[in-house]
Amino acid sequence: MQLNVIGQENAAADGSSCASGSCGSSNDQMSHLPQDIQDKVKNHPCYSEEAHHYFARMHVAVAPACNIQCHYCNRKYDCSNESRPGVVSEVLTPEEAVMKTKAVAANIPQMTVLGIAGPGDPLANPQRTFETFRMLSEQAPDIKLCVSTNGLALPDAVEELSKHNIDHVTITINCVDPAVGAKIYPWIYWNNKRIYGEKAAKILIRQQQKGLEMLVAKGILVKVNSVMIPGVNDDHLKEVSRIVKQKGAFLHNVMPLIAEAEHGTFYGIMGQRGPSPEELQDLQDECAGDMNMMRHCRQCRADAVGLLGEDRGEEFTLDKIAAMDIDYNEAMKKRAVIHAGIMEELDEKEAKRKRLAAVSVPAVEATVPAATRPALMAVATSGGGLINQHFGHATEFLIYEAAPKGVRFIGHRKVDQYCIGGDTCGEKESALDGSIRALKGCEAVLCSKIGYEPWSLLEEAGIVPNGEHAMEPIEEAVMAVYREMVSNGTLESPAPQMESASA
C-alpha cells in the first residue's frame, strides 16, 4: 500500500486561502483529523467522496432482532423496491454471511469494508453478529469490519468488539435529553421489561453516552449518526454534536428523516415532515463548526452491496453464491494488488487537483465581486471528479455551492423512486420526475449529455441544463458556470426557493 499522501497535501492546502478545489471537499473535512485516523479511513468508501467511487462496501443482514422502537422505523415493512436503511429482504445466518462476504470480495476486489447494520440492532443479536465477525477476522483478514448500533446494548459489547478486526462503530444518537427522546422512541426492552416514554429515553441516552466513552477509551473509532426530525430534535442536534465531539467521536453525520405515509412508520402516518435539503444543509453547516460532518452518506439498505449509491446485491443471492467456487487466499493476493493500484491513482489525482487549484485561484477572485450571492448546482458524475454522466443515467446528483470565494461540495441528492406499498407495489414514478424533484433549489445541472425532453422540463422548472463541460473537472466547471451566471446577470435576481423534498 502507498503511504498516505492525501492527508499531508490537505494539511498544506488548508494553510492557503480557501480556494476552488479542496474547499469543503470531503478530503478537506478529513484533514482536521489526526494523521492516524486519516490513515484508517482514507480507503473507506463512506468517508471520502473520492474514495467511494473506487472502494466498495457491503452490509450483511445477520441481525434481525431489535431492542428498541424508533418512530421512523416500521419493522413490518420489507419490500425489495425499498431502499431505506433498516430494510432488507433476506436474513442470513453467520455462515451464509461469511460465504457471501468472501464471494463479493473475490468478485468485487474493490470491496474493503463489511458492515453489520441490521435489519434490527446488531448488538441486540450478539451471537449472530460476533460469530460473523469472528469468522471474518480469521478467514478474510483484509476486510475491515464495522458495525452500527442504537447504543442500548453497547457498553456490554465493547470488550468483545475490541477483540475483532473492528475498524469503527457507528452509534445513532438522536438526542441527549430524555424529553426529546420520548418523542422519538416509544419504548425500549431493558432488563427483561418493556419500558416506555422518558424513562426509556433516559436509559437509552445513558447507555449511548457510556458506550461512546468506553469505545473511545479503547481506541476504537466512533462515528455518530443523527436523524434530523424538524420540530423534534433539529435545534437539539447542535447540542448533540457538541457533546459527542467532546467525548471523542471522530465524525458526526446528520441525515434527513425519511417519512412517508406509505412506509407505515409513526412519523409517516402522523404526517411528520422531513427536513428540506436547505434545512438539512443549514444544520450541517452549523454543526460543522463543532465537528467534522459527513456530506455524502447514502443511507444504504442493511444488505447493500457495491459502490455507494449502487446495489449489486442481486448478483450475490444465496443460490448464486453456492454455485461459486471461491479460493479466498488467491483472491486476497489479487485484492492487495488492486487496492495498491487504486491508492496510487487516488494519490495522483489529489496531486493533480492541487496543481489545478493553485492555478485557478487568482482567476476566480479577479472575476467575481465578493458580494455576489452563492448558487447551487447539481452535477451528474460516475466518478473520477469529472462531469461524465448522462443526465438520464444519474441515480443521484452531487450538489455544489459556488460562491465568490470558491466552490464547495454540499452533499448528494438521490433520485428517489419509492414504491407506495400494498397493491401498487412495484409502480414507480417516472425517473424524470424524480430527477427534477431532487434538483429543487439548484440553478443549473451539469452533465455530459442530456435528452430533449428533460431539457425542456428542466428549463420549465427554472434549472438550466448544461452539457458544455463534459469530461471537465467538476469544481472548475462549476466555477466556470458560476462566472457565466455573474456576467449574464442571473445572480442579480434572488435565489430560487427550496421546497421540502418530502412535500
Q: Which one of 44, 57, 59, 71 is in contact with another protein (CB under 8 A)? A: 71
Return the SS3 of 472.
Answer: coil
Q: Which amino acid is at 277?
A: P
Q: What are phi and psi of 133, to 5 degrees?
A: -60, -45
Q: Which one of 216, 269, 361, 470 is in contact with another protein (CB under 8 A)? A: 269
Site stretch for another protein (CB under 8 A), options 29-37, 117-125, 410-418, 432-440: 117-125
Task: Let me know: does 43 contact 3? Beta carbons within 8 Å.
Answer: no
**Closest alpha carbon to 173 in 87, 230, 221, 233:** 233
Residue with cell 434572488: 494
Which grid coordinates belong to 304?
Answer: 447493500
Site stretch for another protein (CB under 8 A), options 189-197, 216-224, 289-297, 429-437: 189-197
Tell whether residue 464 is a contact of another protein (CB under 8 A).
no
Tell whether residue 455 is a contact of another protein (CB under 8 A).
no
The beta-strand segments (E) located in 314-354 are none
Tell whether residue 193 is a contact of another protein (CB under 8 A).
yes
Q: 206: which residues sit within 8 A by CB, 6+ positions away?
A: none
What is the end-to-end Cα distance of the chain in Å, rounded? 47
User: Which is closer to another protein, CB of 324 or CB of 419?
Assistant: 419
Q: Which one of 189, 328, 418, 455 is in contact with another protein (CB under 8 A)? A: 189
Q: Which one of 16, 18, 32, 78 is in contact with another protein (CB under 8 A)? A: 78
Please tell me the distance from the alpha carbon of residue 64 to that of residue 158, in angstroms, as a whole number: 20
- Distance of closest approach, residue 261 Cβ to another protein, in angstroms: 5
User: Which is closer to another protein, CB of 324 or CB of 420?
Assistant: 420
Which grid coordinates belong to 149?
Answer: 448500533
- Distance of closest approach, residue 270 Cβ to another protein, in angstroms: 7
Q: Which one of 16, 187, 312, 498 is in contact with another protein (CB under 8 A)? A: 187
Site stretch for another protein (CB under 8 A), options 120-128, 247-255, 313-321, 332-340: 120-128
User: Which is closer to another protein, CB of 33 or CB of 66?
Assistant: 66
Q: Which one of 266, 328, 418, 455 is in contact with another protein (CB under 8 A)? A: 266
What torsion, rounded to 10 degrees, do the Cα atoms 63, 64, 68, 73 define? 120
- Distance of closest approach, residue 301 Cβ to another protein, in angstroms: 16
Tell whether residue 194 is a contact of another protein (CB under 8 A).
yes
Site stretch for another protein (CB under 8 A), options 68-76, 167-175, 330-338, 460-468: 68-76
Tell whether residue 124 is a contact of another protein (CB under 8 A).
yes
Q: Which one of 10, 125, 129, 389 is in contact with another protein (CB under 8 A)? A: 125
Integer CA distances (angstroms), 290 to 222, 488, 499, 502, in order: 16, 38, 27, 28
**Closest alpha carbon to 473 in 44, 52, 9, 22:** 22
Tell whether residue 503 is a contact of another protein (CB under 8 A).
no
Site stretch for another protein (CB under 8 A), options 38-46, 227-235, 395-403, 415-423: 415-423
User: Which is closer to another protein, CB of 64 or CB of 248?
Assistant: 64
Ranges within 228-257 binding another protein (CB under 8 A): none
Q: Which one of 10, 22, 67, 292 is in contact with another protein (CB under 8 A)? A: 67
Tell whether residue 75 is a contact of another protein (CB under 8 A).
yes
Tell whether residue 179 is a contact of another protein (CB under 8 A).
no
Tell whether residue 93 is a contact of another protein (CB under 8 A).
no
Alpha helices for 79-153 (secondary structure H): 94-107, 126-139
Tell whether residue 421 is a contact of another protein (CB under 8 A).
yes
User: Which is closer to another protein, CB of 65 or CB of 363?
Assistant: 65
Helix, strand, coil percent content, the chain, rounded in steps of 5: 40, 15, 40
**Closest alpha carbon to 375 in 276, 494, 294, 468:** 494
- Distance of closest approach, residue 89 Cβ to another protein, in angstroms: 12
Tell whether residue 10 is a contact of another protein (CB under 8 A).
no
Q: Which one of 65, 419, 457, 470 is in contact with another protein (CB under 8 A)? A: 65
Q: How many CA atoms lie within 13 A of 484 on its CB side?
A: 13
Please tell me the distance from the alpha carbon of residue 340 to that of residue 337, in angstroms, as a whole number: 5
Q: In what order do the strands lie in the sheet with 187-190?
A: 68-69, 187-190, 193-196
Task: Let me know: does 55 contact 43? Beta carbons within 8 Å.
Answer: yes
Q: 410: which residues sit within 8 A by CB, 6+ positions away?
A: 24, 281, 295, 376, 399, 400, 401
Please tell me the distance from the alpha carbon of residue 401 to that of residue 6, in angstroms, as a whole number: 23
Tell whether residue 325 is a contact of another protein (CB under 8 A).
no
- The contact pattern for another protein, residues 40-59, with x = CB under 8 A and - = no contact, is --------------------
Task: Let me know: does 439 contact 461? Beta carbons within 8 Å.
Answer: yes
Integer CA distances (angstroms), 403 to 164, 276, 278, 481, in order: 45, 21, 16, 11
Tell whether residue 425 is a contact of another protein (CB under 8 A).
no
Site stretch for another protein (CB under 8 A), options 16-24, 159-167, 261-269, 365-373: 261-269
Binding positions for another protein, rule: CB under 8 A: 64-67, 69, 71, 74-76, 78, 91, 119-120, 124-125, 186-187, 189, 192-194, 261-262, 264-266, 268-270, 420-424
